[in-house]
Amino acid sequence: MSSHSKDAYFVPEDSRWPVFGIPGIVLLAAGFGVFLNGGSSGMPMMVIGGIITLIMAVMWFRDVIIEDVTGKYNAQVDVSFRQGMAWFIFAEVMFFAAFFGALFYARVFSIPWLSGGDPATSEFLWDSVSLSWPTAGPGFLDLDFTPMGAWALPTINTTILLTSGVTLTIAHHAMKHNDRTKVILGLAATVLLGSIFMGVQMYEYVYAYQELNLRMDTGIYGSTFFMLTGFHGVHVFLGVITLLVILLRVMRGHFTAERHFGFEAAAWYWHFVDVVWLGLFIFVYVI
């Protein structure tokens, strides 16, 4: 009808990819459940489910990229994507907030209460124990572990991640000036730094398990340490993958100096991962 003018909002044709991925997600989740319950079919279910989910993601993004490159998106669609990404990042922030909340609660409330700050409780649980952060808790007093220090690897990692934010910003400015070579170099540097960060983080985990006797089950300290840094690490991984895809797209000649929201969305995500790390560095490692 009359809706093919440039002003019309792009409403996609029906798409098979969202539904295609649903059995994959069911298999992935059910397989994980079976695995946790000790069933042997859990792992294969997860693998098949994961592959289906991955195909969904790839094919779905493929459609979006084709639509983007063929100029189907007007400025209003661009705003929808911006809104979607911004609120998604907000949701991610709230996910991390739950784990930071657990960390603060343990340090401000539960540890002092167990150490006699709440005599009515501590007297009946572990009478007259004295705990101070970092601790594995009153039930694991004989567990000997060393907390992760802040000044060796984590500081290096902080520098790496902050530098990656700078290289990404350099790439972004280059994108605005349509300097492709600089964009590619900046993005490649960011991907490289992100990968180094993950490598250092993995080394740190091995070090924690082998040298420091610091594990997931090292009480509340080990729990908060590994869950916060672990989920952050997963997000770094996703961010690196995203930036890698954007890098390949830039090399293919996608995006323009004016319109490159795919790039910006990945950059927003990367900066979010960066900021979460700063929170982690301060509250998990330093303080």
Partner 1 sequence: MTATTHDTHDAHHHGPPPGFFKRWLFTTNHKDLGVLYMVFGLLMFFIGGAMAMVIRAELFQPGLNLVDPHFFNQMTTMHALVMIFGAVMPAFTGLANWLIPVQIGAPDMALPRINNWAFWLLPAGFVLLLATLFLPGGAPAGGWTMYPPLVLQLGDSFPFLILAVHILGISSIMGSINIVATILNMRAPGMTLMKMPMFVWAWLITAFLIVAVMPVLAGAVTMLLTDQYFGTSFFSAAGGGDPVMFQHIFWFFGHPEVYILILPAFGIVSAIIPTFARKPLFGYSSMVYATASIAFLSFIVWGHHMFTVGMPLAGQLFFMYATMLVAVPTGVKIFNWMATMWQGSMTFETPMLFSIAFVLLFTIGGLSGVMLALAPVDLQYHDTYFVVAHFHYVLVTGAVFSIMAAVYFWLPKWTGHMYDEKLGKWHFWLSTISVNVLFFPQHFLGLAGMPRRIPDYAVQFAEFNMISSIGGFVFGLAQLLFVYIIVKCVRGGQKASSGVWEGAKGLEWTLPSPAPYHTFETPPAVK
Q: Considering the complex, what minimum distance in angstroms separates the CB of residue 207 from partner 1?
A: 19
Smaller CB separation from partner 1, 60 or 237: 60
**CA of residue 123 relative to chain centroid, distance:** 41
- CA 97 distance to own-chain centroid: 13
Q: Residue numbers of the site for partner 1 (CB under 8 A)?
A: 1-3, 8-9, 11-19, 21-22, 25-26, 29-30, 32-33, 36-37, 60, 76, 79-80, 83-84, 87-88, 90-92, 94-99, 101-102, 105-106, 109-111, 113-114, 121, 125, 131, 135-140, 215-217, 219-224, 226-227
Q: How far is the CB of 173 from partner 1 (least distance, A)?
A: 27
Cβ(218)–Cβ(226) below 8 Å: no
Please state the closest distance from residue 76 (CB atom) to partner 1, in A.
Answer: 7
Shortest Å, Cβ 123 to partner 1: 13
Q: Which is nearer to partner 1, 53 or 158 (CB)?
A: 53
For partner 1, which is the closer residue by CB, 207 or 230?
A: 230
**Of residues 140 and 268, the one with the C-beta less far from partner 1:** 140
197: left (phi over 0), alpha (psi -120 to 50) or beta: alpha
Determine the distance from the C-alpha atom of residue 152 to the mean position of all C-alpha atoms in its chain, rounded to a whole number: 23
Nearest by Cα to 229 from 131, 148, 115, 172: 148
DSSP symbols for 193-234:
HHHHHHHHHHHHHHHHHHTS---TTSHHHHHHHHHHHHHHHH
**Minimal distance, residue 270 CB to partner 1, in Å:** 19
175-179 contacts at long range (C-beta below 8 A, 24 or more positions apart): 175/250, 175/255, 175/257, 175/260, 175/263, 176/257, 177/257, 178/256, 178/257
Comparison of 112 and 169: residue with beta carbon closer to partner 1: 112
If the CB atoms of residues 50 and 179 are measured against partner 1, the closer one turns out to be 50
